[in-house]
A = this chain, B = another copy of it.
Amino acid sequence: MKKKVYKAHILYTKERNRFEVLENGYVAVDADGRVSEVASDLKSLDCGDWEVTDFVDCLLIPAMNDLHVHAPQYRNQGIAMDLELLPWLQNYTFPEEMKYADLAYAERMYRRFVHDLWRFGTMRACVFATIHTDSTRLLMRIFQEAGMGALVGKVAMDRNCPEGLSEPVGEMVLGYEDLIAEFNNPDALVRPIITPRFVPSCTPETLRACGELAAKYQLPVQSHLSENKDEVALVRTLENTWYGDAYNRYGLFGQTPTVMAHCVFTEGEELELMRRNRVVVAHCPTSNLNVASGMAPVRKFLDNGLRVGLGSDISGGHDLSIFRMMVYAIQVSKMYYQQNHDRSFLTLSEAFWMATKSAGSFFGRVGSFEPGYEFDALIIDDSDLNHDNYSLLERLERYIYLGDDRQIKHRFCRGKEIFGQ
């Protein structure tokens, strides 16, 4: 790959409290796809043989990262929102996931799903697949073909679920080892992630086997945590301890890099253990509204030093756009603090930082334009939204609040331009 320089209005967040803004700035990308430098003028760049591309008057920002999304619920995106959690799982989610035993169906849906992630500018994602090893492999290959980054989890589950979605622990482990054999290159964009669905649907044997797989192959872990009150109570009944500890005792809570979705009711010792074990929160504000779970205390997480990123959680969430998740994260934080008589809500830079640098850290050096970061980036042509004399930060805010896939003109992952398939 030739060395490259991109010129545009560059906006990103090194720290959560402020944007770095370079009007007509330059970012230099090395042959290995990593940022070597960001500069306000070409002369100050330490460059030899560069190819300069000028994205005239466009915004250049880090690409989006989705820390929690269920690929096989893609078909159910935006339907059955009037249902409560239980009938929704029984009548929509589980029957849909069973269809992924059929590779042809999986291929049709997974290709659309990956295309839509691409469309909305998400270049890295933590993805739940299903129990089916073959369709999970297919999904991973589709991500590879696309050139996008993904941690993809074959789902482990063997209790409190329909028979067609229950897999005995031995088969589960074999399936994982099969996938690990093909994909476990630590430098690869697409890798497996150990994925017990959540405590209520995994026997202790399956949870133990998951922890052992994570340790043996040094693989990351993802699951759900403290999403709603009934679930938290159920876990206490099943495992006789608090939710985070139930994962922790099986080696699934930060022993390898771990991301937990929701954490709406995380507090006290659970919060403290997450901080200590560097467990990442995948905050899914849209899903938490749609499923009537509650409002996660994200400001408290940040103030306590927790790592937090954003997740679309399709199809509890209905929107794949991580830009839209930023808006919802800010809105939910405003409502949380309105209800709790505290005025400190999330700011735009904090939401942006969560979606980029904070979430990106789960994939490596991703989500910023500091030297050494992988160049995951979007080129936004907001001319249709930029009809008056807006500042660059106002243009970014307007894009986040009002824009959609139409304004995203180019997408880069690890230095390579990614085209839709």
A401 within 8 A of B: yes
Q: How would residues 54 to 93 of chain A score, 1 for a CB under 8 Å from any chain B CB and 0 otherwise? A: 0000000000000000000001011111101000000000
Are the C-beta atoms of B319 and A402 separated by less than 8 Å?
Answer: yes
Interface residues in A365-390 by Cβ distance below 8 A to B read: 385, 387-388, 390
Are the C-beta atoms of B334 and A290 separated by less than 8 Å?
Answer: yes
Are the C-beta atoms of A292 and B401 separated by less than 8 Å?
Answer: no
Give the docked Cα–Cα distance between A394 and B77 (Å). 10
Interface centre among A286, A338, A348, A394, by most chain B C-beta atoms within 10 angstroms, is A338
Give the docked Cα–Cα distance between A289 and B289 (Å). 12
Are the C-beta atoms of A404 and B401 separated by less than 8 Å?
Answer: no
Give the docked Cα–Cα distance between A387 and B111 (Å). 12
- Closest chain B residue to A390 by CB distance? B79
A295 within 8 A of B: yes
Q: A79-B397, A318-B401 are in contact. Are A387 and B338 (CB under 8 A)?
A: no
Interface residues in A91-140 by Cβ distance below 8 A to B read: 109, 112
Are the C-beta atoms of A77 and B398 separated by less than 8 Å?
Answer: yes
Are the C-beta atoms of B81 and A401 separated by less than 8 Å?
Answer: yes
Interface centre among A295, A330, A334, by most chain B C-beta atoms within 10 angstroms, is A334
Copies of this protein, total: 2
Are the C-beta atoms of A78 and B401 separated by less than 8 Å?
Answer: yes
> Separation in Å of the A87 CB from the closest CB of chain B?
13
Are the C-beta atoms of A347 and B82 separated by less than 8 Å?
Answer: yes
Residues of B within 8 A of A290 (CB): 331, 334
A327 within 8 A of B: yes
Among B109, B289, B388, B394, contact of A335 (Cβ-Cβ < 8 Å): B289
Give the docked Cα–Cα distance between A107 and B62 (Å). 37
Q: A292-B334, A397-B78 are in contact. Are A402 and B318 (CB under 8 A)?
A: yes
Are the C-beta atoms of A78 and B398 separated by less than 8 Å?
Answer: yes
> Separation in Å of the A290 CB from the closest CB of chain B?
6
- Closest chain B residue to A289 by CB distance? B331
A293 within 8 A of B: yes
Beyond contacts A292-B343, A294-B339: 18 other A-B pairs, Cβ-Cβ < 8 A, are A78-B401, A78-B402, A79-B394, A80-B394, A81-B401, A82-B347, A82-B348, A109-B388, A286-B331, A289-B331, A289-B334, A289-B335, A290-B331, A290-B334, A292-B335, A293-B338, A335-B335, A339-B339
Q: List 24 A-B contacts (CB under 8 A).
A: A75-B388, A77-B402, A78-B401, A79-B397, A79-B401, A80-B394, A81-B330, A81-B401, A82-B347, A109-B388, A289-B331, A289-B334, A289-B335, A290-B331, A291-B334, A292-B335, A292-B337, A292-B338, A294-B338, A294-B339, A318-B327, A319-B401, A335-B335, A339-B339
Q: Report, nearest first, the 10 A-B pairs whose CB atoms are least far apart.
A: A78-B401, A289-B331, A292-B334, A78-B398, A318-B401, A78-B402, A79-B394, A292-B338, A82-B347, A79-B397
